[in-house]
Structure 1
């Protein structure tokens, strides 16, 4: 799994127990999956269709640095299925896992659109191919 993004847990990210609010963490995961999918599918019109069971395993506190890891499970006709792990950057302790997150590629009409992708592509490889 590749860890793409780091977040610093700040006071405004905490719940009543002074630990990272789960809703905030899920928003970060959703945003990261959307960004990852937009880059992979080369289309800014991507939406979250489904998130499987969310397994909170530990917590984060103010001042912790967390990192969000994403891995492609499969490419569908118009979708991309990902899994996600969030961990503490310093201790590598897993905070949460999400086994399946389905992102759907949309056309201008807002309906699902085939993306014709079958494997992970890296921006550096796309840039090299354009030269």
Structure 2
């Protein structure tokens, strides 16, 4: 799993117990999955269709640095399914896992649209191929 983003847990991210609010970390996960899908599918019109069971495993507190990892599970015709792990950067303790997040590629009409992708692509490879052409 590749960890792409780091977040600092700030006072406004805390719940009444003084730990990272679950809703905040879920918003971070949703945003990270969307950004990953946008880059992979080369389309800014991406929406979240489904988020599977969310497993909260440990807490994070103010001042902790957390990192968000995304890994592709499968490419569908109009979708990309990923899983996610959020962990504490300092001790690598897992905070949250999500097994399946389905992101859907939309066309200009706002409806699901085939993306034509079948494997992970890296931007550096796309740039190299564009320069060769």
> Helix, strand or coil for the counterpart of 1:49?
strand
How many residue pairs get matched? 131
Look up the match of 1:98: 98
Aligned to 1:56: 56
* Cα drift, residue 127 of structure 1: 0.4
Counterpart residue number, 1:108: 108
Structure 1: runs of 5 or more not aligned: none
Query: Are 2:65 and 1:82 aligned?
Result: no
For 1:46, the equivalent position in structure 2 comes to 46
Normalised by the size of structure 2, how large is the TM-score? 0.98
Q: What secondary structure does 2:26 align onto?
A: helix
Which runs of 4 or more aligned residues in structure 1 lie more than 2 Å from their structure 2 counterparts after TM superposition?
A: none
TM-score by length of 1: 1.00
Q: What corresponds to 2:27 in structure 1?
A: 27
Q: CA deviation at 1:24?
A: 0.3
The match for 1:120 is: 120
